[in-house]
Structure 1
């Protein structure tokens, strides 16, 4: 009996299938992500049912034009349209938009000031808000003081390790599911940063689990190894190597490792060589996805990153360290060899 796919992975596949380009079939999406076409069709129907969407019908169909056709012609993703139709803009969201517009006008006129001056200007035109509200909106929109923006380290020191260093830069393994380095990276969009937490198998270089979230909290770090365990099965005793960030030291993350029988390992502070396994991977999607164009929304970039990992990195990108094989091909050969030896 096949293992159920993680909810986050299912959501990414559904998003890619819904927003696919003209000429791209559901069958091709299913092949790229390694699932059966009938399974993907089932996920799509279930997603429509969960959102209360009647297949092929919507407000745009009043004149006999299907929603799917209209959105494709207008280059609009269907899911945001259905989400908006089910829940239009609320009063709170409208207030936030007016506040952001007032802050934008103030920042555009005087970009040398930080968030306090735009907040004062917004209050002068009748849009009451606390300084903390302006402090939250300005960075999320990429509005910084022309002279006061901090760069580099924020002065905070990493906390004490909650695991011993069991790896010591020895990023090698004799078989899959022995050592999983994990890390977090972020990419900018016009809407704000989405953060990617990825867990990599050092033997096959496959990304065995990943999660993407709008906030870099402990739930982001917990979801990635949880998804890896759901996809890889019994991995008790395997080592998960992380840095000493607050997400990896959180109680939720430590409890998640213990719950799945995984062993934690942490590197040193300021030792670049301790993170080479994850940084070498993060450089690839950074150069091939976010840096190739500008992105309007987090959801748009999330779909692109998930597609790149599952379609390009796993199934098309051949690696010298794997004998010019892809991670999927390498694992298939290793599995076949192991079964023949047994």
Structure 2
């Protein structure tokens, strides 16, 4: 069995060769074959041209110290307690910044398998590429959506992208639209239209039929009365403050023109009042674009009764009931002209003579006179 020599002995013998002794002398002195000496010198990377000698005992001590440090780190389990994702991020940074460390050394130091590390690197590269493509795709989806004036949904946007050579699935486009909060107006156009319509038809009175001044709130309605074989329609507008009929008109047609003509005449007669609210039911004449635009141009706020709630317009309904009981049902009309004369006469009577219970038994005209004369003296309307 070959004789075993310690590292310290080998180092001492090689150093003797380096200090000037010949190979034969060293061989004889230390009883080591010359071939063995040459092999030791080669193993220790020493030759006759080298100008330095490695201190192998110092290297051994340093290696032992580093081994102890590594053992302490392992025993502390600090590395193992760090989340794997965090260790992978640290490895990726070190691998990029310090080329002198191999992947094997890095992974062994942080106790991560090389397979796991390589998968992380590849996935990160793929994810970065995907995110860049996704960002570009989001910009294109937004542009197509805006160009369509918010009309296109996911399928149409996908088709436009395909025409440009960009092949993506409808579901991916839908997810991008959701992330960007892009909603096609086609999908909820009807619902939004109904919401706008309902908002525009809000009831501003809510059965509070009190007004603090003239021309603050007008109420209006249409009724009909049959004369022989045809019907005549009567549209009236009353001022809630004085209950005065400020406008009325008779027509053979219950049309938008009937309402607009009645309002125009009343608005002019009352000197185009400002801050006016106009309340009615939801009849087609009142909700027509023509009439609503007329009110908007006149600076008038529009209010509507709730659907199927006649009491929401009780003042106008009450006027018609009173007119029919006190006038129309008591007469036999021979013609349209006869009916018109009857309406003219009754409304003059109603405005100027007939006492009104809610006005402390004063006529509407007299009540407005008192209001005009005493408003500077702290006049208050009697409670209705």
Structure 2-normalised TM-score?
Answer: 0.46
- Structure 2 residue 319 is matched with structure 1 residue 281: yes
- Aligned equivalents of 1:306 and 1:237: distance in 2? 29
> Are residues 1:337 and 2:383 paired?
no
The correspondence of residues 114-125 of structure 1 with structure 2, limited to 5 A, is none
Alpha-carbon displacement from aligned partner over 1:261-288 (angstroms, at most 9, x marks no partner):
1111011111132021111111111112
Distance 2:215 2:295 in 1: 14
Corresponding residue for 1:245? 283
1:325 aligns with 2:375: no
Paired position in structure 2 for 1:192: 230
For 2:356 and 2:225, the matched residues in 1 are separated by 25
SS in 2 for 1:318: coil
CA contact (8 A) 1:235 1:261 kept: no
Which whole-Å CA distance do the structure 1 matches of 2:322 and 2:248 have between them? 15
Distance 1:222 1:234 in 2: 14
Which of 339, 350, 353 matches 1:313?
350
CA RMSD of aligned residues (A): 1.8
Given the alignment, which residue of 296, 305, 312 partners 2:334?
296
> What SS is found at the alignment partner of 2:231?
coil
Partners of 2:341 and 2:356 in 1: CA distance: 24
Report the Cα distance in structure 1 between the residues aligned to 2:229 and 2:376, rounded to whole angstroms. Answer: 49
- 1:292 and 1:298 map into 2 onto residues whose CA distance is 16
Counterpart-to-counterpart distance in 2, 1:313 and 1:216 = 24
Structure 2 counterpart SS, 1:211:
strand
1:315 and 1:291 map into 2 onto residues whose CA distance is 22
Change (3 A) 1:161 1:282: farther
- Measured after TM superposition, the shift of residue 341 of structure 1 is 6.0
Q: TM-score scaled to structure 1, two decimals?
A: 0.51
Unaligned stretches of 5+ in structure 2? 1-196, 380-384
Structure 1 position 191, deviation (Å): 4.9
Is 1:205 paired with 2:236?
no
Match of 1:220 in 2: 258
Q: Could you tell me how far apart the structure 1 residues matched to 2:322 and 2:199 are?
A: 28
C-alpha distance in 2, partners of 1:226/1:202? 18
How far apart, CA to CA, are the structure 2 residues paired with 1:340 and 1:275? 32
Maintained 8 Å contact 1:181/1:202: yes
